[in-house]
């Protein structure tokens, strides 16, 4: 046996790409050429294959990491001599790497317009494996029309014009080349320069929103590899279908492909979703989670939901459609999974922070010149660390039937940014003072707003705080940031009349909302956690007891 380092092969012009999907985990057996991870730039997504067959020992990348040619992906144990040298994965299909197309300024034409296969680099006789439109469909400029596949890559071919599809000139299995006629559009159509100049590279969206590039490039599974089965974990699907499945939280390995060679199409993903919703199919992902909790609840996955309403809003008034930011899409998929899969309960409580607030204000006054402003959140982080130490199950994660108790205290805090919610992490908050925490929080919040947080700065949290205190509100039910098991929501403190046994006293009360995973934590423990947290915030000297 030998251990090999599997690295990112030559991925052409891509400088830094983001890891958006991990397709294997430690312990998995992989074949040579099996895809290990998917990476995405703003122009394309690609699957990175394994150069060897073996067993995954250790993943060296996490979701969100930036990688480039030569970055270490994972350690692979392979059969053979221990002397086998460390090798890089074979070169990626650099020819498939997209080159930027000229910005498309649509011109207007009327009458039939021919859409042809634009310049697809060195690829010859690529097979049409998916047809994404049909006669009568209205297509936009840059909308993907078909997916083609060579033995190295699959790519979606976009339309060079907008209009109504009058006739399709290709069918599944056809071999196409540069210049071949794909479709005829009719009506008044907007024509992008790419149609007039087929030499422009087709594989990059030239539309105004490059992040939504319609075209993706993938290192394809070799033709001889059989159609994916859940057991193999090798779903055969184009990057756009993978992306679609990810957005819906659909485990592709469980979807049966109806396309050529068993390829999974958008329609397959949609019909799988419908089956899950109707209870006809239970996803393995959900079963695994259910296995982790006592059998008392029975099946429980038959959500029995009716389909999502499809409404033509323009019937009711003018509308504007805007793509959601990438962060929103990613966090949305995570939030949906966490909301559905965790039996979460929220305890609301109030705690008296009158004295702490007075201390905070005086501390800030004394340290005005230091430039470091201490907000209530820094104290909350310290107080939570104390409560997590006293109630360690709140600092744990589920691992099958076991709990992983973390002996570190890395506290995530939700930060509101123009692009969406981000959760930077204060590492080792137990070892840091209020000033250091405040300084780090300020730096991390700024980086989050500027979109400059590194994946490392957003990972490893063992507990999260979501503070809306600077904004307002009373209580809310935060969603647990899996695989954590609890999250504290905090709203704005207000002066309340509090009965001291003789009279009402004006006290500054802080509303707390603690959401916890009922598989790990019981209601009584949650109530105790909140009470203890309130006691600490009421009098920090208790930390010393
Ligand atoms: N009660 C009363 N006032 C509070 C308070 C509370 N609980 N928490 C903060 N404040 C005050 C601060 O003292 C500060 O007052 P001054 O301007 O008078 O000094 C003001 O509100 C603004 O504070 P802040 O929000 O800038 O600082 P913070 O440390 O409390 O929070 C950060 C930092 C990054 C967490 C915050 O800016 C943020 O992004 N919050 C939103 C988090 C979020 O979106 N959560 C929802 C997740 S679920 O979708």
Token duo for residue 295? 């059998």
Report how far residue 64's alpha carbon sits from residue 37's, in angstroms, rounded to the nearest whole number: 11
* 3-class DSSP state of 87: coil
Question: 471 CA distance to ligand 1 centroid (A)?
Answer: 6
Residue of minimum CA distance from atom 25 in ligand 1: 470
Token duo for residue 430? 């137990």
State the angle between helix axes of 376-390 and 354-366 in degrees (0 to 180), rounded to the nearest 10.
Answer: 130
Burial profile 228-266: b = 16 or more Cβ within 10 angstroms, e = fewer: beeebbbbbbbbbbbbbbbeebbbbbbbebebbebbbbb
**Residues comprising the chain, all counted:** 545
Looking up tokens 């939280």, which residue turns up?
A: 249
Report how far residue 194's alpha carbon sits from residue 29's, in angstroms, rounded to the nearest whole number: 43
> What is the predicted pLDDT for the residue at 110?
60
Contacts of 104 (CB under 8 A, 6+ apart): 141, 142, 192, 193, 194, 206, 207
From residue 83, alpha-carbon distances to 1, 60, 79, 208 in Å are 9, 22, 11, 51
Is 417 near ligand 1, meaning CB less than 6 Å away?
Answer: no
Question: 410 CA distance to ligand 1 centroid (A)?
Answer: 19
> What is the predicted pLDDT for the residue at 47?
79
* pTM for the whole structure: 0.54
Report how far residue 151's alpha carbon sits from residue 300's, in angstroms, rounded to the nearest whole number: 43
Contact 276, 255 (CB under 8 A): no
DSSP code at position 264: B
The full 3-state SS of 146-210, as one line of letters, equals EEEECCCEEEEEECCECEEEEEECCCCCCEECCCCEEEEEECCEEECHHHHCCCCCCCCCCCCCH
Peptide bond into 52 cis (omega under 30): no
Backbone dihedral region for residue 514 (phi beyond 0: left; psi -120 to 50: alpha; all else: beta) = beta
Question: 4 CA distance to ligand 1 centroid (A)?
Answer: 47
Is 473 near ligand 1, meaning CB less than 6 Å away?
Answer: no
> What is the predicted pLDDT for the residue at 83?
38
From residue 270, alpha-carbon distances to 237, 247, 248, 276 in Å are 14, 12, 9, 10
Is 101 near ligand 1, meaning CB less than 6 Å away?
Answer: no
For the CA of 466, the closest atom of ligand 1 is 45
Nearest to 528 by CA among 430, 387, 389: 387
> What is the predicted pLDDT for the residue at 395?
98
Residue of minimum CA distance from atom 21 in ligand 1: 470
Is 490 near ligand 1, meaning CB less than 6 Å away?
Answer: yes
Tell me the best of 426, 449, 467, 491 to mutate to test the pocket of ligand 1, counting ligand atoms within 8 Å of each CB and taking the most. Answer: 467
For the CA of 479, the closest atom of ligand 1 is 48
**Could you read off the pLDDT tens digit of each residue along the chain, which spans 545 residues?**
889 999 988 887 677 888 888 889 999 999 888 889 888 776 566 778 888 999 999 999 998 899 998 999 999 999 875 433 433 444 333 333 333 333 333 344 467 889 999 887 777 888 888 888 999 998 888 888 998 887 666 778 888 888 899 999 999 889 999 999 999 998 754 444 433 223 222 222 322 222 222 222 223 222 222 222 333 334 677 767 776 777 677 778 788 888 766 778 888 888 887 776 655 544 444 333 333 333 333 334 456 778 889 899 999 999 999 998 888 888 899 999 999 999 999 999 999 999 999 999 999 999 998 889 999 999 999 999 999 999 999 999 999 999 999 999 999 999 999 988 999 999 999 999 999 999 999 999 999 999 899 989 999 999 999 999 999 999 999 999 999 999 999 999 999 999 999 999 999 999 999 999 999 999 999 999 999 999 999 999 998 88
Is 414 near ligand 1, meaning CB less than 6 Å away?
Answer: yes
Is 415 near ligand 1, meaning CB less than 6 Å away?
Answer: yes
Report how far residue 157's alpha carbon sits from residue 146's, in angstroms, rounded to the nearest whole number: 5
Report how far residue 141's alpha carbon sits from residue 262's, in angstroms, rounded to the nearest whole number: 29
State the angle between helix axes of 376-390 and 523-538 in degrees (0 to 180), rounded to the nearest 10.
Answer: 130
Residue of minimum CA distance from atom 24 in ligand 1: 470
Report how far residue 34's alpha carbon sits from residue 51's, in angstroms, rounded to the nearest whole number: 8
Question: 490 CA distance to ligand 1 centroid (A)?
Answer: 9
From residue 441, alpha-carbon distances to 118, 421, 496 in Å are 49, 15, 29
Token duo for residue 161? 């014009």
State the angle between helix axes of 523-538 and 354-366 in degrees (0 to 180), rounded to the nearest 10.
Answer: 50
Report how far residue 305's alpha carbon sits from residue 275's, in angstroms, rounded to the nearest whole number: 10
Report how far residue 480's alpha carbon sits from residue 494's, in angstroms, rounded to the nearest whole number: 26
DSSP bridge partners of 465:
413, 488
Question: 529 CA distance to ligand 1 centroid (A)?
Answer: 22
Is 493 near ligand 1, meaning CB less than 6 Å away?
Answer: yes
Residue of minimum CA distance from atom 35 in ligand 1: 415
Residues recognised as catalytic: 518
Report how far residue 248's alpha carbon sits from residue 125's, in angstroms, rounded to the nearest whole number: 33
Question: 535 CA distance to ligand 1 centroid (A)?
Answer: 22
The full 3-state SS of 314-374, as one line of letters, equals HHCCCCCCCCCCHHHHHHHHHHHHHHHHCCEEEEEEEEECHHHHHHHHHHHHHCHHHCCCC
């Amino acid at each position: 046996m030998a251990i090999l380092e599997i690295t990112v092969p030559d991925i052409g012009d891509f400088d830094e790409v983001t890891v958006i999907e991990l397709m294997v985990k430690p312990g998995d057996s992989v074949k040579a050429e099996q895809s290990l991870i998917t990476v995405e730039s703003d122009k394309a997504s690609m699957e990175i294959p394994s150069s060897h067959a073996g067993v995954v020992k250790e993943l060296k990348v996490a979701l969100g990491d930036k990688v480039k040619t030569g970055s270490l992906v994972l350690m692979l144990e392979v059969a053979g001599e221990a002397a086998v040298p460390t090798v890089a994965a074979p070169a990626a299909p650099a020819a498939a790497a997209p080159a930027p197309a000229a910005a498309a300024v649509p011109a207007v034409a009327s009458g039939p317009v021919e859409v042809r296969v634009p310049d697809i680099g060195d690829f010859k006789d690529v097979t049409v494996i998916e047809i994404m439109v049909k006669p009568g469909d209205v297509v936009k400029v840059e909308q993907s029309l078909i997916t083609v596949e060579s033995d190295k890559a699959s790519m979606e071919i976009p339309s060079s014009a907008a209009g109504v599809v009058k006739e399709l000139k290709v069918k599944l299995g056809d071999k196409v080349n540069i210049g071949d006629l794909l479709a005829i559009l009719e009506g008044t159509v907007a024509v992008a320069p790419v149609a007039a100049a087929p030499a422009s590279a087709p594989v990059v969206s030239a539309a105004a929103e490059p992040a939504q590039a319609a075209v993706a490039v993938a290192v394809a599974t070799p033709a001889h590899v059989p159609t994916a089965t859940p057991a193999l974990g090798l779903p055969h699907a184009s990057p756009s279908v993978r992306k679609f499945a990810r957005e819906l939280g659909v485990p592709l390995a469980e979807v049966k492909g109806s396309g050529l060679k068993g390829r999974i199409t958008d329609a397959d993903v949609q019909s799988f979703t419908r089956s899950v919703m109707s209870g006809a199919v239970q996803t393995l992902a959900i079963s695994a989670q259910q296995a982790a909790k006592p059998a008392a609840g029975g099946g429980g996955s038959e959500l029995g939901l009716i389909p999502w309403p499809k409404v033509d809003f323009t019937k009711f008034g003018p509308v504007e459609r805007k793509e959601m930011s990438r962060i929103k899409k990613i966090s949305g998929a995570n939030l949906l999974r966490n909301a559905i899969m965790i039996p979460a309960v929220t305890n609301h409580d109030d705690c008296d922070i009158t004295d702490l607030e007075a201390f905070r204000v005086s501390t800030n006054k004394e340290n005005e010149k230091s430039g470091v402003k201490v907000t209530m959140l820094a104290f909350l982080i310290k107080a939570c660390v104390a409560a997590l130490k006293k109630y360690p199950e709140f600092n744990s994660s589920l691992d099958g039937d076991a709990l992983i108790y973390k002996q570190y205290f890395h506290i995530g805090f939700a930060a509101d940014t123009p692009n969406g919610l981000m959760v930077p992490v204060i590492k080792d908050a137990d070892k840091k003072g209020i000033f250091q925490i405040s300084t780090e929080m300020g730096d991390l919040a700024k980086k989050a707003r500027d979109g400059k947080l590194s994946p490392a700065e957003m990972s490893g949290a063992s507990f999260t705080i979501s503070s809306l205190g600077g904004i307002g509100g009373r209580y809310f039910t935060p969603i647990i940031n899996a695989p954590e098991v609890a999250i504290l929501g905090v709203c704005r403190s207000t002066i309340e009349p509090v009965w001291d046994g003789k009279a009402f006293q004006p006290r500054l009360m802080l509303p707390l909302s603690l959401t916890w995973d009922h598989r790990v934590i019981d209601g009584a423990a949650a109530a105790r956690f909140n009470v203890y947290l309130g006691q600490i915030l009421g009098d920090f000297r208790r930390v010393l007891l």
